[in-house]
Amino acid sequence: MEHLLTELFNNQLKTLVRECINNSSLLHDPKFSSIKELIEHYGGKIPQAKASPASDTNNEFRSEPAEPQVESEPEPESESEESDVELDMTGVIEPDEDAPQKMGDLLLQPTEEQCTESQAIRSQAVSAFMEKDYEKAVQLYTEAIVLNPQAALLYAKRGQIFLLMNKPNACIRDCDRAIELNPDSAAAHKFRGRAYHLLGKFEEAANDLRLACKLDFDEQADLWLRDTTPNARKIEEHKRKMERKAQEKLERERQERIQKAREAARAREENTRTSQTDAGGPSPGDFYQFLKDPDVLQSFQDPEVSEAFKDISANPTNVLKYQNNPKIMGLINKMASKFGGIGGAAAGMNFPGGMPGFPGAGMGRPNPPKPPQDDVGLD
């Protein structure tokens, strides 16, 4: 009995611990103050209580386990969903949010004196850079840029200092301007590539660093390229995979549309056949099957029958000539009984000798033609 009570207590305690882990606000409930004191006594820290709706604050802790939820089947991956790519994020930093630095007026055409002064200030900036006084170096490079905003190298060198100061966005802005002025600036591509890497933009980083090494090989640029290439390749492979999936999805949808169109065409054809059958019209297959009857074949081999049907074919009303001929009318009546009427049997079918059809069976003699009216009473 004691063992059962101990096990029951342990189970209740485990449930309580799980609930407190999932919802730390329970520890602020006065009913659990002793547990809170125990945790704080041993150096534990209770998270701040979060504001919750009034309906939640009144709910009491329940030890009953939650009802199991039925997991729904995962939906097929859509075109916009991307699977996770495991990347090495070593060295990636938070982006800098400083206001954009001063760029200089690109419309300004510096004089010879301004270019000379800009060069002198640049020398001072290099000295500050060598002394690792980066703030001063940035200030001096900015002064040199204002005097000569057409010098791409000034932007690239200031971008290098921003890179050392862990300001990749500022570095990218300067390198963008340098590349705008000189697309073949290896230094600008090199520093911008590294800045992209620090921001986790590995594809852009690899593209810039490859171009920098191509324009002017540099050991530092090559080392940075080796550092960023594995992640860039993973992203490129992932994009190819997603593009392939998108193409496969488009092909599946195309095949489905073709299949639906074929099924619709078959359904229309089937409906057409059904409506023809319901209308009572005999099909050509039924007629040719009828012609295979030995008695019918023998009848059509009779010259008299053949000539009679040719005559009827030329003028269907000529059937009246043969109403007293049992041989001809016997065959006609047989066809009528087979196809539900002479007209229905013959409609749209090619008889031997090219006869398309004839009028219905049971037709009586035609009324004699009315005599022409005379002109009595006319002036």
The per-residue pLDDT for range 186-208, each reduced to its tens digit, is 999 999 999 999 999 999 999 99
Q: Is residue 96 part of a domain?
A: no
Q: Which amino acid is at 256?
A: E
Nearest to 282 by CA among 229, 223, 348, 220: 348
Radius of gyration of the chain (CA): 49
Average model confidence (pLDDT) for the chain?
Answer: 77
The pTM of this model reads: 0.49
Q: What is the pLDDT of residue 325?
A: 86
Q: Report the domain count for the chain.
A: 3
Q: Is residue 200 part of a domain?
A: yes
**Phi, psi dihedrals of residue 16, rounded to the nearest 5°:** -65, -40
Residues 227 and 327 in one domain: no
- Domain holding 227, by residue range, is 112-234
Q: Which amino acid is at 162?
A: F
pLDDT at residue 111 greater than cutoff 90: yes
The string of pLDDT tens digits covering residues 234-263 is: 999 998 999 999 999 999 999 999 999 999
Residues 223 and 300 in one domain: no
Q: Is residue 3 part of a domain?
A: no
Length of the chain: 379
Q: Is residue 192 part of a domain?
A: yes
| Structure letter (DSSP) for residue 216 | S
pLDDT band at 34 (very low <50, low <70, confident <90, very high): confident
The string of pLDDT tens digits covering residues 48-86 is: 665 444 344 344 334 444 444 444 444 444 444 445 788
Q: What SS3 state is found at 340? A: coil
Q: What is the pLDDT of residue 11?
A: 63
